[in-house]
């Protein structure tokens, strides 16, 4: 079974289109999973959701930015740890279409996929309490992706593969029991590459690689430059290599 993982698109439709173009050129990928944070940071939240919701071959889960926006829409508690991003998330909430809001509302937090009696656990990140809403800070703090840290972070999750996002650097770590893989943020890179992970998953072996797909970022930058988005220049500097 060959699986493609992508995560943390963050409102960058050009990066997502590059990943989808790559996918459409492959004939041997059996399943595709998006691990959350469709919105936030970049301005193309509606475009990203439109691209994903029309792809029957991609299963998607929610991320913390997606849930922060929904918390504001529903008048629920907003997480204190994201108070610096509240104005930005409110702008997304105000400009998100009703249909795309419904799409986000329907996303699960985790997926557990079984293949040849093994489990692949997919999540945006490790949860301290999966039942708590985003305002109650359910995600565990991000840690450096070492064998020791990831084993502790996902303690109690018994799976041959654990795929996750949230922490933007790509991570590929294998222990005797588990392959931990984070493709890296698809839409938030300092250069014009869109990372995805390809996992070859069979009962007797699991092998993975992270591909850096180049793309033309001019359409994205044109939207970024012409959109009056809160914290636009901060987002450009922190997440897009200050590209203009």
- Residue 121 belongs to some domain of the structure: no
Residues 216-226: tens digit of each pLDDT: 999 999 999 99
Instruction: Give the count of domains, the chain.
Output: 1
Residue with the two structure tokens 């890296």:
184
Considering the domain boundaries, does residue 122 fall inside one? Answer: no
How is 191-235 classified by DSSP, letter by letter? SSEEEEEEEEE-SS-EEEEEEEEE---HHHHHHHHH---TTHHHH
- On whether residue 31 sits in a domain, the answer given is yes
For the whole model, what pTM was predicted? 0.97
- Give the mean pLDDT per block of 10 residues along the chain (244 residues): 98 98 97 98 98 97 98 98 96 98 98 96 98 98 96 96 97 95 98 98 93 98 97 96 96
Q: Is residue 200 part of a domain?
A: yes
Domain that holds residue 75: 2-110+184-239
User: What confidence score (pLDDT) does residue 203 get?
Assistant: 85
Domain assignment present for residue 17? The answer is yes
Give which of 134, 190, 169, 181 is closest to 12, Cα–Cα. 190
Max Cα distance, the chain (Å): 52
> What is the model's pLDDT at position 91?
98
Q: Check residue 157 and give its pLDDT.
A: 95
Interval 92-131: pLDDT, tens: 999 999 999 999 999 999 999 999 999 999 999 999 999 9
Q: Determine the pLDDT at residue 204.
A: 86
**Please, are residues 20 and 187 in contact by the beta-carbon 8 Å criterion?**
no
* pLDDT of the residue at 142: 95
Judge whether 174 lies within some domain: no
Domain of 234: which CATH number? Answer: 3.60.21.10
């Amino acid at each position: 079974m060959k699986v493609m993982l992508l995560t943390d698109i963050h409102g960058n439709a050009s990066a997502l289109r590059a990943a989808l173009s790559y996918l459409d050129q492959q004939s041997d990928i059996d399943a595709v999973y998006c691990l959350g944070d469709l919105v936030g940071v970049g301005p193309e939240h509606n475009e990203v959701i439109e691209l994903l919701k029309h792809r029957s071959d991609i299963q998607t889960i929610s991320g913390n930015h997606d849930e922060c926006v929904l918390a504001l829409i529903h008048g629920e508690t907003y997480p204190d740890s994201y108070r610096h991003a509240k104005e930005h998330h409110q702008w997304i909430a105000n400009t998100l279409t009703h249909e795309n809001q419904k799409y986000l509302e329907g996303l699960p937090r985790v997926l557990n996929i079984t293949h040849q009696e093994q489990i692949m656990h997919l999540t945006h990140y490790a949860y301290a309490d999966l039942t708590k809403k985003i305002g109650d800070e359910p995600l565990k703090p991000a840690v450096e992706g070492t064998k020791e840290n990831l084993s502790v972070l996902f303690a109690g999750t018994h799976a041959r593969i654990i795929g996750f996002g949230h922490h933007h650097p790509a991570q590929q770590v294998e222990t005797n029991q588990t392959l931990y893989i984070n493709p890296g943020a698809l839409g938030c890179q300092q250069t014009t590459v869109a990372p995805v992970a390809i996992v070859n998953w069979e009962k007797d072996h699991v092998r993975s690689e992270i591909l850096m797909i180049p793309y033309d970022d001019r359409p994205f930058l044109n939207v970024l430059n012409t959109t009056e988005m809160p914290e636009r220049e901060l987002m450009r500097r922190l997440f897009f290599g200050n590209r203009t």
